[in-house]
Structure 1
Amino acid sequence: MADPTALRLANTIRATSGGLTDAFATTDSVRDWLTANAPELGEFLDPATFVPTEQDRAALVELRQHVRALFAKAVAPEPPSGADASALPPFPEALAALNAAAAPLVRELHWDAAGPSLRTRLLTTDELHTVKAVLADAAIEFCTGPTLPQVRVCPAPRCVLYFLKGHPRQEWCSVACGNRARAARHYHQHRAE
């Protein structure tokens, strides 16, 4: 199962052997990420035609930081991801910013011969506001859904990802991180002898 959009957004910061990498480091990488996540962006934006500017990139990085601040709150009292824990905005600011970003997206009740249904309407034509609204709405839906209590921070050395704990014994985001953590523990135990 693919990770929810909000989790993928939060994990656009990753650790590699060369250090932290940011999927939003350049306007081209932002466009690539949006294109790869196009199905989740819904009917309101065609990522193939959206050419983000440097200001757009910075705004999406800021939105990501707000989502990561919400995830840090969700995993508390455990520590947040080490990628940017010192650079996260305060929780009240992140919450307000996320709600403001989602404001152009309005859910409405539609009723026709088939009965009631939920429809979503966008109150802006600005592409950046559209992207932010759709991503903020995905984060709001995730934070109010049943899986938020499963969010964890991977404790493996050098890993900075948030993940969904899918099994009671799951401790790491991936098998590779589990292997790295066990190897580090083994090294420290034998080094102390």
Structure 2
Amino acid sequence: MSTRIADLDPGGAPLLGEPLPVEFANTRYAVRGVPQEGLAEPEHLAAWLRDIAPRLAGPPSDTALLAVDAADLAAALDLRECVAALLRATMTDTAPAADVATRLNAYTRAAPHWRELTWPTASTRTEAAPIAAVLAELASATIDLVTGPDRAELRPCHGPGCVLHFVKNNPRREWCSAGCGNRARVARHYQRTKNAPRI
């Protein structure tokens, strides 16, 4: 029986509606403070790309997703490491390691692209392999994020044990998700009641 794209195991990485570079960095996450790898297998990468496809300018075909292999996964993990380093550097207002920008730029150069009119719409075209094209798009989106107006709004989640990031789109937002906010409130309540004097 052949594998269907809809049946691919997503690996558990959360999708929270953040900008794609943040979503990509967040594929390394934590459950109750225990680090988890959302892209442990090529199948996980293919499923994650399937799930973000509607947000991509040049989404890969089902055939390309079913062909994701260990080399594609290794490239994606290397790019994710660059993206995470750039997000951390941006949030802490520090410079990333010297090779991070060089590695990220290699991904953007690997898939030159152009727009073509396909009346009555336009589409993005490239001669790069499908997964290389997606990685180039993620690398370009990272450059836009860390150099654009949202850079000042990048935040780490303050939820207990959470390692995710988000773009603060509301002045009161301090967590990546409502679940982390609830856990933080429960933890604060526990600390207050634990330390309260007994009558």
Query: TM-score band, normalised by the shorter chain?
Result: 0.7 to 0.9
Which of 3-12 and 90-99 deviates more?
90-99
How far does residue 56 in structure 1 lie from its aligned partner after superposition? 1.5
Read off the aligned partner of 1:34 and give its amino acid letter. Answer: L
Residue 74 of structure 1: aligned partner: 90
How far does residue 165 in structure 1 lie from its aligned partner after superposition? 0.8
**RMSD, aligned α-carbons:** 2.8
Which of 143-152 and 44-53 deviates more?
44-53
Equivalent of 1:179, from 178, 182, 185?
182
User: Percent identity over the alignment?
Assistant: 34
How far does residue 150 in structure 1 lie from its aligned partner after superposition? 0.8
How far does residue 35 in structure 1 lie from its aligned partner after superposition? 0.8
- Aligned residue for 1:45, secondary structure, equals coil
Residue 4 of structure 1: aligned partner: 19
Which of 67-76 and 34-43 deviates more?
34-43
Residue 129 of structure 1: aligned partner: 132
Give the unaligned 5+ runs of structure 1.
79-89, 111-117
- Aligned residue for 2:155, secondary structure, equals strand
Read off the aligned partner of 2:163 and give its amino acid letter. Answer: V
Corresponding residue pairs, total: 175
Read off the aligned partner of 1:46 and give its amino acid letter. Answer: S
Report matched runs for 1:1-193 at 5 Å. 2-17=17-32, 19-43=34-58, 45-50=60-65, 51-76=67-92, 90-106=96-112, 122=126, 124-193=127-196
Measure the CA separation in 2 of the matches of 1:132 and 1:54. Answer: 15
Give the unaligned 5+ runs of structure 2.
1-15, 117-121
- Aligned residue for 2:176, secondary structure, equals coil
Q: Structure 1 length as normaliser, TM-score?
A: 0.77
Q: Kindly tell me: are residues 109 and 168 of structure 1, through their superposed partners in 2, closer, same or farther at Cα, counting changes over 3 Å?
A: same
- Aligned residue for 1:152, secondary structure, equals strand
Q: Structure 2 length as normaliser, TM-score?
A: 0.75
Residue 11 of structure 2: aligned partner: none
Measure the CA separation in 1 of the matches of 2:132 and 2:50. Answer: 17
Measure the CA separation in 2 of the matches of 1:43 and 1:173. Answer: 27
Q: Is the 8 A contact 1:106 1:120 kept in 2?
A: no
How far does residue 18 in structure 1 lie from its aligned partner after superposition? 8.1
- Aligned residue for 2:29, secondary structure, equals strand
